[in-house]
Amino acid sequence: FIFDMHFIVQISVCGGYPSRNVHQIALTIMDRAIGTFSTKGIDPQ
């Protein structure tokens, strides 16, 4: 999942999309996912 979000950010940067917004959304989603995994005792990496 995390790698997919990094891929989306890279596509947005290379495609000329408003990467700041896409990047911020992706980081927010990744932070939430990592936090959820961590609270369950699962290594998110």
Cα–Cα dist 10/3, whole Å: 11
Over residues 10-31, the mean pLDDT reads 75
Give 1-16 pLDDT, tens digit per residue: 666 777 877 777 776 6
pLDDT for the residue numbered 3: 67
Burial (CB count <10 Å: 0-12, 13-18, 19+), residue 23: middle
pLDDT-derived band of residue 34, with 50, 70 and 90 as boundaries?
Answer: confident
